[in-house]
Chains A and B, each alone.
Chain A
């Protein structure tokens, strides 16, 4: 047990107030951290950081190599049972069984991913302001109350991390070692980004719109996390500023009070704690657009490991995926008994046309029945009955979207571990 007072902690922080009225928690300066570490006597801390006191239990992710074990936790605010990938800044994964319980992912089990550790732990909705500025006729500073008076829209959409399933990449790549739970589906309620931009009046010559949230790097000259969309995309009437998910205000760790919703696009663009909208008259060359979250400009963003000299482009539209949710890897299946096999699928930037199942390693495919359609950007449940002879079977599930894109039979690879959408296989033992 670590003596509490010797432990550097994000409770030992300076609290300051930002322009937006949110209290920012700034972790210890390096100097004070060093002082505290030095006092602690480093050799005392032999306990594994993988088994913190906060762990509820250890789960095994079906990754191709270790470490597969992750603690689960209930220790994050407004969050229930989650798989702990990183404590600070938080990376929390949704357990697969949550996707078996319904087409919408509950807020308290919706995955969490932050880049920088300076995350406001308090937001006052009365003083919070959303700035709209840059290449506009009139800069705006909008309160939550003003935003709530604007025409309201609602949309079901999947939010998926660019690196969801990165842990399955072979060869393995550095980064968050997610299984498949860095995704979720919610009903987002908010206002159209277009309406907010129209209120400010976009000037001729606008090229992109850049989005920034309240989170900040610990080191002040590190690149603040900002993302941009092309102006036509930003004004397409689908991109939203959400203030509610699944009919409740956003959990703080999912972006309270406002989050950008970019239907059909990877979550890197869904800026959390959205506080600043800047219309640009030239393309955004900031690190998070020009370098980070770029993918090879090749089919399926696929290259050979070690391949260099490839043109890179910002990651963008999602691609179809599907998952079996009521049988985990290696689970047993009742032999010779027709059993329900079910799961979820999404079409990426288009609706789900069909989901098919194979129980013979992909040689033959059978159709499945699709559940209620909540719109082209939502999860879609699928189900079929299957009887299996005694023995081991590889169950594969494949989604085709309304544009005719089908999940590929072989996995892609790139240095970032982005855009996995290979047909997934679950091994079951019928007995």
Chain B
């Protein structure tokens, strides 16, 4: 009787193992360490880019900004103010016009 129960137990284990949720072996989840590229290229433009290089690169790389289409200067002003007021970028007030001017000259609407 005990043998029979054991056999039934083995059988049901095998049947359970045939259901999709259980046949799948445990995926191996291994600790992971990676290196991320630094994204440290500077905004081009020499001295005109000083303000944007000094204030903006701590939080994000330059490439996405340079990928933006031409946008009105008012849009660039709004973007810079969003960075300061919403995303808390520690940008000196005195640098704001230079950053907006840089963006408008690089990415201003035609």
Chain A contact residues, CB within 8 Å of chain B: 2, 7-11, 23, 25, 27-30, 33-34, 37-38, 40, 42-43, 45-50, 52, 54, 63, 65-67, 70, 73, 75-78, 84-91, 117, 119, 121-126, 144, 148, 151-154, 167, 172, 174, 176-177, 189, 217-219, 221-223, 243-244, 247-249, 252-253, 256-257, 287, 291
Residue of B with least CB distance to A70: B67
Q: Which of B56-80 contact A (CB under 8 A)?
A: 57-64, 66-71, 75, 79
Given A48-B44, A153-B21, A222-B87 contact (CB < 8 Å): yes
Chain B residues within an 8 Å CB radius of A27: 58-59
From A52, A65, A77, A152, contact of B41 by CB (8 A):
A52
From B32, B33, B60, contact of A117 by CB (8 A):
B60
Interface of B is mostly: loop
Q: Is the CB of B33 within 8 A of A88?
A: no
From A38, A243, A252, contact of B27 by CB (8 A):
A243
From A47, A76, A148, A287, contact of B29 by CB (8 A):
A148
Q: Is the CB of B68 within 8 A of A152?
A: no
A303 CA to B38 CA in the complex, in Å? 39
Q: Is the CB of B68 within 8 A of A48?
A: no
Q: Is the CB of B27 within 8 A of A189?
A: yes
Given A34-B54, A121-B35, A152-B21, A177-B40 contact (CB < 8 Å): no
- Offer 25 A-B interface pairs, CB within 8 angstroms, sorted by A: A8-B38, A8-B58, A10-B39, A37-B57, A42-B42, A45-B43, A47-B44, A48-B44, A50-B67, A52-B63, A66-B69, A67-B69, A75-B37, A78-B34, A89-B60, A148-B29, A167-B69, A177-B64, A189-B27, A217-B87, A217-B88, A222-B88, A244-B27, A249-B30, A249-B32
Q: Is the CB of A9 within 8 A of B53?
A: no
Chain B contact residues, CB within 8 Å of chain A: 20-21, 24, 26-47, 49-50, 53-54, 57-64, 66-71, 75, 79, 86-90
Q: Is the CB of B66 within 8 A of A88?
A: no
From A9, A117, A124, A248, contact of B59 by CB (8 A):
A117
Chain B residues within an 8 Å CB radius of A189: 24, 27
Q: Is the CB of A76 within 8 A of B37?
A: yes
Shortest beta-carbon contacts, A-B, top 8: A87-B39, A88-B39, A77-B34, A86-B64, A45-B42, A49-B41, A122-B33, A9-B38
Chain A residues within an 8 Å CB radius of B63: 49-50, 52, 84-87
From B42, B58, B79, contact of A49 by CB (8 A):
B42
Residue of A with least CB distance to B78: A174
Q: Is the CB of A77 within 8 A of B26?
A: no
From A37, A67, A151, A217, contact of B67 by CB (8 A):
A67
Of listed A38, A48, A144, A177, residue having the most chain B CB within 10 A? A48
CB distance from A389 to the nearest CB of B (A): 36
CB distance from A50 to the nearest CB of B (A): 5
CB distance from B96 to the nearest CB of A (A): 15
CB distance from A377 to the nearest CB of B (A): 17
CB distance from A402 to the nearest CB of B (A): 24
Q: Is the CB of B61 within 8 A of A218?
A: no
A319 CA to B67 CA in the complex, in Å? 27
From B34, B38, B67, B86, contact of A88 by CB (8 A):
B38
A121 CA to B35 CA in the complex, in Å? 6
Given A43-B47, A219-B87, A256-B32, A91-B64 contact (CB < 8 Å): yes
Residue of B with least CB distance to A128: B31
